[in-house]
A = this chain, B = another copy of it.
């Protein structure tokens, strides 16, 4: 359902690879940055639909999504012309269009490795399944966790990743292990045929180029915020903080990365 898109490939094929180069590149036309925003538009559109709106202008949708309207229109133009000049976009149609482009009309089996603190929370997050990403397997190596069920899913030993993932049609892997274990887990997922990984572990993963990895790193996010606090903000409120710029002077490193 839901098909009827039309994708206008802009001008000439601008081939281009993904961030990571790729041997075989077809010309895909949707910029990576646009794909990320499409997911955001989708959520905002869902809210709009819930309030009964049937159409929305680029200006309003952009404001709700936190981007400017020219960017939004350009983004939508990559997935075809879906608006009506003088009127705006039909909410329901746009939702179908974006879901189609993002591949959300099919389900993607998910395996989560590492049922510790964070992993447990993620496994318990029901929004997963309801959004087309059914959790099909849980793995860990801790004997206290093996055998328990979370949200109805059995926690199995990480050694079984290859067979279980293949068996249950897992296409997306989520890694929530401690950093040191992440690479080995990743290797097993890749061996099992998984080509898309979401990594919460504080570890840079080395993968073959056909594997797509997205990273979510709390420490990095906090440090980026720290950078901004140190430079611009900080004087307004508290944080006295003594001089931060001195060039040579290192006070005392509070943080030592692992």
Q: Using a CB–CB distance below 8 Å, which chain A residues touch chain B?
A: 1-14, 16-17, 19, 23-24, 26-29, 32-33, 35-40, 42-47, 49-50, 64-66, 79, 95-96, 99-110, 114, 116-122, 124-125, 127-128, 130-133, 162, 165-169, 171-172, 176-179, 191-198, 200-202, 204-206, 210, 212, 214-234, 236-258
29 interchain pairs, CB-CB under 8 A: A2-B177, A2-B202, A4-B200, A6-B217, A9-B215, A24-B232, A27-B245, A27-B255, A28-B231, A38-B223, A39-B223, A39-B224, A43-B219, A46-B258, A96-B253, A101-B256, A102-B230, A104-B253, A106-B249, A107-B248, A120-B121, A130-B255, A166-B242, A166-B243, A167-B241, A171-B238, A172-B222, A195-B233, A195-B236
| A255 and B200 contact, CB distance less than 8 A | no
Q: Which residues of B contact A178 (CB under 8 A)?
A: 1-2
Given the interface pairs A198-B221, A220-B36, the reply to whether A106 lies near B5 with Cβ below 8 Å is no
| B204 and A66 contact, CB distance less than 8 A | yes
| A106 and B230 contact, CB distance less than 8 A | yes
Q: Which residues of B contact A117 (CB under 8 A)?
A: 1-3, 121, 124-125
A42 to B222, CA, bound (A): 13
